[in-house]
């Protein structure tokens, strides 16, 4: 079920809010049980049997959490519990997400003729698996107590606002709110506005940019201009698609009294690749930092080689996490190479700010071409066309059409990927009663326009649902 679908907006969400706040108000246990059942129903909407995978993950990680809570740091039982937590969760991820790819790659490499099973990918499995691991590992790190009630563990892992595409919520940040949270009108109204912002970003910007990006990446022949326009379109599409989903998830959480951490902080104004990854998909970067990079020793190791090895492991895993394709693996290694150069040469600290933003943006843009391409040869062909190699001229009719049809969207995407709206809201003449009225009116107009688009069946899937 999509957040931007009519069934969610007109049926599921209103029904869940009504039941949560009217007959169940004042009974936290009943509210939590209802949210768990609603979340499982939300997940089952597309493919009911996927719920069995979810329930299996909840049950086993709850038991692992109980065991972890009974072990002592530094002992063999603690190490065994940690190993089994990683082994179980990563095995689930491997079977459903990577087994088909691995067997296909082996068959191609060996020239063998064995059959490769086609295994359906449970939606959002990478996200909820990392959350499940976070629960058990946080207990082992002493950050949160083991939860004796399996229903509360189930709610943490399956809570529908962040179930499909994050943010990846660490158990330590919401453990207290599962037991005791305070809903209020300020949070509810702020959450509603945040949801509307994300909805508008997704439908009005990301979906429109997706058409331009698909035109370029699906073209039989590329001019230099079309290749660059397509790369920029996808760069902005994935930002507004994913940050829009995060806005909607954070807003939905607020409506029910939960407070999730921010997942984006204007990543395209970053002055280095290092800074970009402090601003982009913050919950994933933080997860790998806390559960992989720091345990390996991070940057506090006795040699540069070991530090680079730690970075290599993190970015290899980051690339693999995003998908079962050589393009994602190479995308992760691309960022390892960039970050290794920055760390080794100190490039993230040199030059004026304004001159560091543009090169960083272009490096990120090249990376998104690799991320979007169907294969490595397709990525190489696209990047070569951007450089004029093998391109069908500098400009083309297709490039003219893309620019003509999307010039306003490109301008809006550039503007709203910066803190312009935040700056505007802080001005004295936009505050007060009239400022609030204008803000709500503008938001309502954008939300209604977005709803009109989806009502007529506009392009709609979220990119990160695939991960």
- Residue showing tokens 């087994």: 99
Average pLDDT score over the chain:
90
CA distances to 196, 359, 445 from 426, rounded to whole Å, are 20, 29, 21
Are 34 and 158 in contact by the 8 Å Cβ rule? The answer is no
Are 226 and 219 in contact by the 8 Å Cβ rule? The answer is yes
pLDDT at 263: 94
Cα–Cα distance, 252 to 258 (Å, whole number): 8
Confidence of residue 282 (pLDDT cuts 50, 70, 90): very high
pLDDT at 351: 59
Residues involved in catalysis: 322
pLDDT at 172: 84
CB atoms within 10 A of CB 421: 12
pLDDT at 114: 79
Burial of residue 447 (CB within 10 Å: 0-12, 13-18, 19+) is buried
Are 127 and 57 in contact by the 8 Å Cβ rule? The answer is no
pLDDT at 136: 95
**What percent of the chain has a predicted confidence (pLDDT) above 90?**
67
Cα–Cα distance, 401 to 225 (Å, whole number): 11
Closest to 217 (Cα-Cα) out of 409, 466, 439, 402? 402
pLDDT at 354: 65
| pLDDT single digits (tens) 296-329 | 998 888 888 899 999 999 999 999 999 889 999 9
pLDDT at 458: 60
pLDDT above 60 (res 459): no
Are 96 and 121 in contact by the 8 Å Cβ rule? The answer is yes
Confidence of residue 345 (pLDDT cuts 50, 70, 90): confident
Confidence of residue 64 (pLDDT cuts 50, 70, 90): very high
Per-domain residue ranges of the chain: 6-108+119-181, 187-466
């Amino acid at each position: 079920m999509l957040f931007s679908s009519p069934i969610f907006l007109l049926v599921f969400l209103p029904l869940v809010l009504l039941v949560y706040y009217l007959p169940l108000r004042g009974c936290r246990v009943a509210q939590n049980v209802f949210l768990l059942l609603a979340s499982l129903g939300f997940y089952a909407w597309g493919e009911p049997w996927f719920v069995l995978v979810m329930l299996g993950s909840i049950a086993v990680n709850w038991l692992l959490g109980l065991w972890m809570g009974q072990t002592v740091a530094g002992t063999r039982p603690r190490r065994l519990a940690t190993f089994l937590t990683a082994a179980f969760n990563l095995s689930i991820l491997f079977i459903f997400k990577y087994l088909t790819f691995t067997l296909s790659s082996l068959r191609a490499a060996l020239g063998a003729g064995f059959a490769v099973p086609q295994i359906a990918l449970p939606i959002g499995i990478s996200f909820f698996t990392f959350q499940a691991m976070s629960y058990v590992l946080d207990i082992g790190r002493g950050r949160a107590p083991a939860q004796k009630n399996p229903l509360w563990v189930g709610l943490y892992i399956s809570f529908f606002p962040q179930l499909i595409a994050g943010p990846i919520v660490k158990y330590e940040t919401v453990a207290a709110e599962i037991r005791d949270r305070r809903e209020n009108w300020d949070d509810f109204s702020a959450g509603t506005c945040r949801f509307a912002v994300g909805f508008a970003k997704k439908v009005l910007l990301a979906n429109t940019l997706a058409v331009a990006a698909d035109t370029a990446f699906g073209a039989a022949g590329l001019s230099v201009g079309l290749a660059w326009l397509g790369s920029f379109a996808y760069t902005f599409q994935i930002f507004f698609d994913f940050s829009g989903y995060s806005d909607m998830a954070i807003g939905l959480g607020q409506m029910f009294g939960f407070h999730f951490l921010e997942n984006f902080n204007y990543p395209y104004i970053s002055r280095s690749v290092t800074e970009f990854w402090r601003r982009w998909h913050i919950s994933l970067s933080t997860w790998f930092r806390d559960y992989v990079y720091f345990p390996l020793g991070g940057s506090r190791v006795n040699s540069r080689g070991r530090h680079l090895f730690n970075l290599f492991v993190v970015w290899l895993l980051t690339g693999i996490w995003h998908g079962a394709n050589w393009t994602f693996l190479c995308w992760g290694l691309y960022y390892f190479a960039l970050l290794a150069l920055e760390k080794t040469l100190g490039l993230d600290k040199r030059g004026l700010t304004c001159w560091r933003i543009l090169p960083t943006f272009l490096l990120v843009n090249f990376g998104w071409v690799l991320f979007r391409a169907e294969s490595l040869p397709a990525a190489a062909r696209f990047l070569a066309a951007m450089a004029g190699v093998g391109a069908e001229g500098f400009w083309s009719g297709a490039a003219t059409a893309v620019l003509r049809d999307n010039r306003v969207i490109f301008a809006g995407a550039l503007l709203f990927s910066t803190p312009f709206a935040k700056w505007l809201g802080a001005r004295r003449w936009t505050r007060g009663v009239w400022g609030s009225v204008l803000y709500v009116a503008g938001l309502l107009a954008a939300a209604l326009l977005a709803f009109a688009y989806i009502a007529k069946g506009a392009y709609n899937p979220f990119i990160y649902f695939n991960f």
